[in-house]
Amino acid sequence: MNSLSAGWVIPADGAPIRDGRVTWEDGRVVDVSPGRGERHYENAIILPGLVNAHSHLEYAVYAGFGDGEPFGQWMGTHITRKRALDFDDMVAIACRGAADCLTAGITTTADYSFSGAAAVAAARLGLRAIVYLEVFGSDPAGAASQLAQKQEAAGSSPLVTLGVSPHAPFTCSIAVYEWALSLGLPVGTHLAESANENDWLESGAGPLAANAAILVPPTGKRAVQTLESVLGPTLLCAHCVEVDDTDVALLAELDVPVAHCPRSNALLGCGVAPLADFLAADMRVGLGTDSPASTPSFDLWEEMRAAIYASRGRERRPDSLSAAAALELATAGAARALDLTGEVGVLAPGARADITVLSIAGSPYDPVEDPIVAAVFGGSPDRILETIVDGTTRYRQGETSWHEVHSTASTARARMLA
Ligand SMILES: [Zn+2]
């Protein structure tokens, strides 16, 4: 039996516990209650490991590429630079991404993977992941062969579940979505991320037309309507920014899980998704960092705050997203969106022992008045003291360094800049 205690424990499915302790065995939580553990952190908060609902570990060193370019052009910049990489480079970069996630207190990520390298990296660093292997095109047989090749590259690991990701409605046909949904694997896509996407789908216009050779033909409909026949509870949809009231009603009615990525959407100039509408419709929503291709970091703390800024600013109401609601989007809410309810995103008997310890020492929230407010507004990767996945410590501040992971990933970035 292992145990850890701190000034506060936020179990996520109940009230915070003062002077709390988490006990676990064989990778599962056994008990969460007041008490002192075999190891104790003063001035700290124990939380469920954070659950990232959308990432691309393979883009961990793409920071700043095409900054300020319109969406279609930005995508072209990334496609061109990615051609400089081989699979080993992609693994090296994805390892950097997995290390960054663990450093930020993320223990599970839903990752859309171009090559399968993200699965190798997550397994190597001990990050729990659903890795949705990306497929492109109009032809299901072509997509099947892309998937088979990427599955082989991805390998297998107890912490990693492989899924499939038809990339987006403008790069994949409905037949490819139907094929993907027939496999019985987790399925994720990008949906309604930008106005450029709707422009292409509705009329073949806009900046995406420059990449017409790799796109499917326009459908004459907006993105959400384009996918209407395949939307459902097992298709995770990232972004959903360019949605109107009819689209939101449809997404809600079909119980479509959404990954909300406010920093990525803002930095790419795509807009602000109507999170308050999603939540009012009782939709399953998780928060996603996306990747340094479009955001500065895999920092889900900053993402929680961005979600709050964006929602309160958009709705002009300070109660449109509370600190507790933001934390839920990064823990139990994300778990619900990923169909991992009760497994991750919560500290309760039977759940996976995925645990994050956050220091509050010296922060403006010390001494703690409300531990959830302190965590959400005061949390950051440099305050993470320890990250535990499946009962095993994968990161400990001051002890885990990942020097080689960082330098190998930097070499791959240099290749893209050459
Ligand atoms: Zn993405």
pLDDT digits (tens, 9 = 90+) for 238-277: 999 999 999 999 999 999 999 999 999 999 999 999 999 9
Q: Measured between alpha carbons, how far is 94 from 105 in angstroms, rounded to an integer? A: 17
Over residues 101-105, the mean pLDDT reads 98
Determine contact, residues 255/26, Cβ cutoff 8 Å. Answer: no
Tell me if the bond preceding 367 is cis, omega within 30° of 0. Answer: yes
Do 2-48+353-403 and 50-337 share a fold? no
pLDDT digits (tens, 9 = 90+) for 120-179: 999 999 999 999 999 999 999 999 999 999 999 999 999 999 999 999 999 999 999 999
Is residue 75 classed exposed, middle or buried when 0-12, 13-18 and 19+ CB atoms within 10 A define those classes?
Answer: buried
Q: Count Cβ neighbours within 10 Å for each residue of 302-338 and write b for 16 or more, e otherwise.
A: bbbbbbbebbbebbeeeebbbbebbbbbbbbbbbbbb
Considering only residues 145 and 211, tell me which one the structure prediction assigns the higher pLDDT.
Answer: 145
Cα 46 to ligand 1 centroid, rounded to whole Å:
29
How is residue 149 annotated by DSSP?
A: H
- Check whether 72 has a pLDDT greater than 80: no
Q: Measured between alpha carbons, how far is 110 from 185 in angstroms, rounded to an integer? A: 13
- Check whether 25 has a pLDDT greater than 90: yes
Q: What was the pLDDT predicted at 14? A: 84
Cα 299 to ligand 1 centroid, rounded to whole Å:
15
Annotated domain spans of the chain: 2-48+353-403, 50-337
Cα 337 to ligand 1 centroid, rounded to whole Å:
16
pLDDT band for position 7 (cuts 50, 70, 90):
very high
Cβ count within 10 A of residue 253: 11
Would you identify the CATH topology of the domain 2-48+353-403? Answer: Urease, subunit C; domain 1 (2.30.40)
Cα 241 to ligand 1 centroid, rounded to whole Å:
13
For residue 299, give the nearest of 249, 263, 246 by alpha carbon.
263
Give start and end residues of each alpha helix (H) in 44-116.
Answer: 71-82, 87-103
Q: What was the pLDDT predicted at 60? A: 96
pLDDT digits (tens, 9 = 90+) for 322-333: 999 999 999 999
Cα 82 to ligand 1 centroid, rounded to whole Å:
15
> Considering the chain, what is the average pLDDT of its residues?
96
Would you identify the CATH topology of the domain 50-337? Answer: TIM Barrel (3.20.20)
